[in-house]
Structure 1
Amino acid sequence: MDALAEAVIAGASPAALQREAVPISYTAAHLRAADIGMFDGCEDADVRRSLRVGGVPMPSLAPDEVLVAVMASSINYNTVWSAMFQPMPTFNFLKRYGKRGGDALRHDQPHHVVGSDGAGVVVRAGAAVRRWKIGDHVVVSCIQVDDHEPATHADSVLGAEQRAWGYETNFGGLAHYTVVKASQLITKPGHLTWEEAASNMLTATTSYRMLIGDKGARIKVGDIVLIWGATGGLGAFAVQLVKQAGGIPVGVVGSEAKERALSALGCDVAINRMEIGLTDDATPEQTIEQGKRLGRIIRKKVGEDPHVAFDYVGRATFGISVFVVRRGGTVVTCGSSTGFQHTYDNRYLWMNSKRILGSHAANLNEQAECARLFNLGKISPVLSAVYPLDEVGDAARLVQKNEHMGKVGVLCMAPKEGMGITDQELRDSIGEARMNPLRAV
């Protein structure tokens, strides 16, 4: 480990961090452009084969950027997509970004450092950075935006130049260091460990925008919300947000163990997907039958049809979501882990005045509002496992096979779990049992 990293781990002062030289290379989980095509003809695109951990060159710092020593990160499904080179190699994004010239050229490399979550310590700040300084403890937003673009100032997610950090950009969070824009930073909640703080921002804030934000479903007290994959990274936060908003979460999961996890999260209703007869390749007729079956189950357990369906599963569930929400209901979607091509019977949409709402990540204000909920103890991290960086392939494989619950954390520079707490009093007031409900399942 380099001298700057050792100083960060030791909790050195900002002045001491400034004195240490930035290394010319660093350890990172990355993909290689030379490996594109390695899964051609393979039935199983095992991400352990493509995700590599090793040294990569340290990029230069633009005036509006900071260098963060990453203490911990986590696995998101976009890292799985990246490592599968599906639906397209992410090097296509990097090449397109590089064509903008200037500082963007740095991103077009034969290696791609992946990862869209991170928590750590600012160790360098560009000349144009005002709000952040060396030594600050931060979490990193997954969205990079162009603040010279007018749309960014209305809603940064709508800007044509917004990009998912570590997916559509290089220098992601599954590494010892990351280069990010200063506009991506939020103060780390002091009561959380590095790995807890690093596991929240992408999924919790995405769920926040989908359900709570004014661009989302805007759920209210008493709303019944169907949550597919309710113990996944997005779903587990959705359950908590619905409960805090006074709604009734109805979670669908795939095993008895996950039903127990839903209970630990406080979910009102748990439904095993086997009760629905859910299949990934249902015909239109089977989809309607599955929807009818699910509707009967929900009405039996709750008494009404759902107001909202929270759907990031995609192809296998989307047609059911459109069918099962009540007249005037909303299907809000942000991803498609089972496939991007969705089919549904449009009669049930238009004749019942339902709506489909697409949602992507969250803007910085929504992320700050979501971070505030963590500080208030209203929502909690949902870590279920933590891996060291050199086992990142195993961590990503767990998510690829859907054998995880909640979030899978990755220790980057942090040598062990449990580090990074600076507000023990707040943590004690919230209670240790509430900090990671899925780890006790």
Structure 2
Amino acid sequence: MTRATLKSLACSLAFLLPACGGGNGPPPDPDMGLGDQGVVDDMGTTDLGNDDDAGMTPVTVAQRPGRSASIAVDDGATTIAVANRGTDDVTFFDMSTRTERARVAVGDEPNALVFHPDGNRVFVLNAADGTVSEITGARTAGARVVRTHDVGPEPMGAALSPTGRFLYVSSWTGGALHILDTTTRDVTSVDLGGAPYAVCVTNDGDQEDVDETVYVTDFYSQPGTGREGTDGSRTGRVFRLDADGNSLGEVTLSPVAVTGVLPAVDAANTQAFPNQLYACAISGQHLYVTAVGASPAAFEGGTDFHQNVHGLVHAVSLSTNTEVTSRTINLSELVTALAAPKRFAPVPVSIEFVAGTEFAYIASMTSDAVIRVDYGQSPPRAGSPSGATFLPTAQMPTGIAISGATAFVYNEV
């Protein structure tokens, strides 16, 4: 193995997950080959070659709802893809051998990526240059960029519709959602305001994308009814759109009462409002949104880390589009209830569920850990039946992907 391979593998840690189902179908047919000549069309897309499979294969529907992270696994469980922000490239690993298969240069500061349902294409968000790199041949050693699509400034999150026809891309500093038609390559934009960040798309399992719903988190909190600087002064916001980008309204995420952390904190009746809405995931009939909970009010004449910052995960009903408070959790409270050793999770940056279960795995960037939460219990509980209170990672985990009974975590440092 080369030094590059060893370095890349150190960034992707694999964990075996307890009580998980598995099984994936066979991968699609291999890539048909690419041309070499690059041209620029009139739709803001730089075309670097011909991918003969585009629009010529049967429609493949994704197995899960759409989301993105710095790491992803294809539905066929053949390939792991990692967006390397520091080196401006994407690494592809063979799923069976865990060895590097290809490394592809993309745009500036790639921070997230998604696999197309066909398993052959990958779309990469390049935050610094406001583009999306389209890679084909992802299952082969010949993976390469065939197109670069211009989108808004600082694309931070994306999700594909179930058939892969539409890619929804957030523009963090542009206040917009950009919709890329992956067949015609047209890009349309929807003004949202705020700071759009994570994107999730529902998946009802059929070949019709028009009936799906798109959810986009607003990264920063919004003013509420309370006095600024108090614990209950702000709320979280999630934009809701139909598949064509038409607004369906907004979902409000409320402050969470802080309990079960310290007796003194409980007695003070503090709250934490959702800020920095890093990630989202859809599982079953719920949307889950991670946030850094802020409690800015002074506590006992000062502040205390047990009180002022909390890792939150808000739950939203897909049928009513309202928050389900019985499923909204404070990770500080759940971790406090666990036996030592344990790690608090104040900055939950990525969340994924084991398919077909209510087991969530949440990557915490500042604690170098993954926390398991069982939403099948009421109230939800953290920890594992094996007694493990957390799964240690390397430094600064930024993304998690789950395939069958294995979780893969990308660590940026």
**Same fold flag (TM > 0.5):** no
TM category (shorter chain) comes to: under 0.3
Compute the TM-score of the two structures, normalised by the length of structure 2: 0.27
- Which structure has more relative contact order (CA 8 Å, sep 6+)? It is 1
Compute the TM-score of the two structures, normalised by the length of structure 1: 0.26
